[in-house]
Amino acid sequence: MNRIARGVALATTALAAALIAGQAAAKEIKVCLIVSKTGPLEAYAKQTEAGFNLGLEYATKGTNKVGDDTLKILVKDDQFKPEQTKAKAEECYGDDKADIVIGATGSPNTIAMLPVAEEYKKIMIVEPAVADSITGDKWNKYVFRTARNSTQDAYAAAAALNGDFSVGMLALDTAFGRDGVAAFKEAVAAVNPKAKIVHEEYAANNTTDFAPQAERLFNALKDKPGRKVIAFIWAGPHPLPKFVDLKPERFGIELAPGGNILPVMAAWRQFAGVEGGIYYYYNFPKNPVNDWLKAEYQKRFSAPPDFFVAGGFSAAMALTSALEKAKSTDAEKLIVAMEGMDFDTPKGKMTFRKEDHQALQSMYHWRIKKETTETDFLELVAEIPASSLPLPIRNKR
């Protein structure tokens, strides 16, 4: 064999070896998505899953790959039972050998599975659970949250209370509800010291008769000076219609229901002028990611994208951004990559705060329009940028 032929042969062999090595390096990245596909928050879970799948499609341009690695998504139903959520997380990390877990739908469920991430030393992305304690005293270094927290919700809600208010609170008797009330108190004190929280009520998510809670709230508020309002920290079927039936206006009491999913809020169209704070409403953010989401979701589901669709999409964007940046599924390398990481979402850019891994993000102050349709009923009063939300760091890092 002459020198030229030998050179060609060696180059061909080297190229083949490189191709084989490249093929060998490509791997399957397993990701578990834990949601409550059955139970009272089933609608939230369906939205989260749909949004997550669309987010992966957008981020990977339909390939379902990050680099040469293929994403395998395992969806688990925790039935909205905290003990099941913990078991599913153990199953994901232990039996399925998942690299990353994403979830869960409820705050109590998510709190139950946080220690599992620490035990297995694997990354967990929290979406859509909200309780402050998730990135507070229950947090560990493997936990990152794309979902907003209770304090972010509270600052958005407090923005709608501008003036001399007396406020009564009705909240779920869960970590989500109690953390939400505590955060609301803190936010009101910070942005509107003229508003005072005068009474709190808590109820289970399966409560059907709210008359006892309403009576106590009415009695606590009716003789107070200034404007009187009942604010809600609630997930699932909303008690607002039952409170409306009890005629709080007899005592000059207004209702501030907060943000919710579109089917719930559509029932409030009659309350033109009512204001509140919200995490996401499809017409508010103006950016290419949200434009794509609105168009694709409308095309596939004949409806605009909702609250938790955007959340699931954001989790997918955080996942792919982290894997691209770290170029590894090793948890320690992912932590380095994700701390302080910016990533695009339907709400615009989010940033994982280094200190507690909470995603910093905008919130929105809304008002119900005078003229509405079944799917378009909110107008934007103001975007509340992340830079104006002074979120306390609550973990013990």
Per-position DSSP letters for 241-284, written without gaps between them: HHHHHT-GGGGTEEEE-----HHHHHTTTTSTT-EEEES--TTS
Indicate the helix (H) or strand (E) that contains 172: strand 165-172
The number of helix segments (H) and strand segments (E) in the chain equals 12, 16
Compute the distance between CA of residue 133 and CA of residue 175 in angstroms, rounded to an integer. 8
Please report the DSSP string for 106-129 in residue order.
SHHHHHHHHHHHHHHT-EEEE-S-
How does pLDDT run across 322-341, given as a tens digit for each residue?
Answer: 999 999 999 999 999 999 99
Quick one: which of 80, 79, 73 has its CA closest to 106?
Answer: 80
Which pLDDT band, with edges at 50, 70 and 90, does 273 fall under? confident
| pLDDT above 90 coverage of the chain, percent | 77
Residue 5: pLDDT band with limits 50, 70, 90: low
Domain boundaries of the chain, sorted by first residue: 27-148+285-361, 151-278+365-388
Among 179, 229, 185, smallest CA distance to 202 is for 179
Look up residue 391 and give its amino acid: L
pLDDT tens-place string over residues 218-244: 999 999 988 899 999 998 788 988 999
Is 90 exceeded by the pLDDT of residue 364?
Answer: yes
Q: Are 307 and 280 in contact (CB under 8 A)?
A: yes
Could you tell me the pLDDT band of residue 3, with boundaries at 50, 70 and 90?
low
Return the amino acid letter for 73. Answer: I
Radius of gyration of the chain (CA): 24
CA distance 75 to 33: 5
Mean pLDDT of 204-213: 94
Residue 93 is predicted with a pLDDT of: 98
d(CA 32, CA 124): 9
Q: What's the pTM?
A: 0.87
CATH number of 27-148+285-361: 3.40.50.2300
* Same topology between domain 27-148+285-361 and domain 151-278+365-388: yes
Instruction: Kindly indicate the confidence band of residue 259, based on its pLDDT and cuts at 50, 70 and 90.
Output: confident
Average pLDDT score over residue span 295-323: 98
What's residue 315's pLDDT? 98
Encode pLDDT of 89-137 as tens digits.
999 999 999 999 999 999 999 999 999 999 999 999 999 999 999 999 9
Q: What are phi and psi of 305, to 5 degrees?
A: -70, 145
For residues 331-364, one letter each, b for 16 or more C-beta atoms within 10 angstroms of the residue's C-beta and e for the rest, the string is beebbebbbebebbbbbbebebbeebbbbbbbbb
Instruction: Please write down the long-range contacts of 373-381, taking CB distance under 8 Å and 24 or more positions apart.
Output: 374/266, 374/269, 375/262, 375/266, 375/303, 375/304, 376/283, 376/304, 377/265, 377/266, 377/268, 377/269, 378/265, 378/278, 378/281, 378/283, 378/284, 380/281, 380/283, 380/284, 381/160, 381/275
Cis before 128 (ω within 30): yes
At residue 202 the predicted structure's pLDDT band, cuts being 50, 70 and 90, is: very high
Determine the average pLDDT of the residues in 247-271: 90
Q: Is the pLDDT of residue 8 over 50?
A: no
Instruction: Report the chain's mean pLDDT, rounded to a whole number.
Output: 92
151-278+365-388: CATH topology is Rossmann fold (3.40.50)
Mean pLDDT within 344-348: 98
**22: pLDDT strictly greater than 70:** no
